[in-house]
Copies of this chain bind each other. A is one copy, B any other.
Amino acid sequence: MAEVPTDVLERFAWYAREMSALTVMFHSRVAEQMGVSATDEKCLDLAMRADGPLTAGRIAELSGLSTGAVTGVIDRLERAGYVRRVRDPHDRRKVLVEVTPQNSEKFAHLFEGAMETVERVLSQFTPEERDLLERYNKLTIDVFRERMFTPD
């Protein structure tokens, strides 16, 4: 467990902040191109990254919105053709939000640019170096996620 010099730490903090700002900008850009609000895109992203379909209530929890707001979000996403409401056959109170296949296509198209960005960066590294970068990414996500989801 190596000590980290202050100047190195500060530079990495700056990278994080810069990436953070670019990411937020990127999200609103994507939302704009998809013709939905940033909030709607955020919820759609949640629904797409989940293993199975999410319920409306779960989306409310994960996004931090009220259930009433989520009703509106799903309304708009459904009208735009990105998702579909399906009543849970086992518990008909619940509404499952299913991402429609067409959306995957549209979405993939929009993200091709991002994919190319990733490729442009990775092409500058050898396979051995990429292994290290992969370890770095995984670790960052784990530590970051832990900090986000544990009570202070």
One of A66-74, A80-88, A94-102, A125-133 at the interface: A125-133
Cα–Cα distance between A89 and B46 once the two chains are bound (Å) = 48
With a cutoff of 8 Å between Cβ atoms, the chain B residues found around residue A46 in the complex are: 21
With a cutoff of 8 Å between Cβ atoms, the chain B residues found around residue A22 in the complex are: 141, 144-145, 148
Closest Cβ neighbor of A62 among chain B residues: B25
With a cutoff of 8 Å between Cβ atoms, the chain B residues found around residue A8 in the complex are: 122, 130, 134
Contact of A45 with B27 in the complex, beta carbons under 8 Å: no
**Chain copies in complex:** 2
Contact with B along A83-125 (1 / 0, CB 8 A): 0000000000000000000000000000101110111111111
Dominant SS among interface residues on chain A: helix
| Chain B nearest Cβ from A111, distance in angstroms | 8
- Is A79 an interface residue when CB atoms closer than 8 A count as contact? no
With a cutoff of 8 Å between Cβ atoms, the chain B residues found around residue A145 in the complex are: 22
Closest Cβ neighbor of A8 among chain B residues: B130
Contact of A119 with B45 in the complex, beta carbons under 8 Å: no
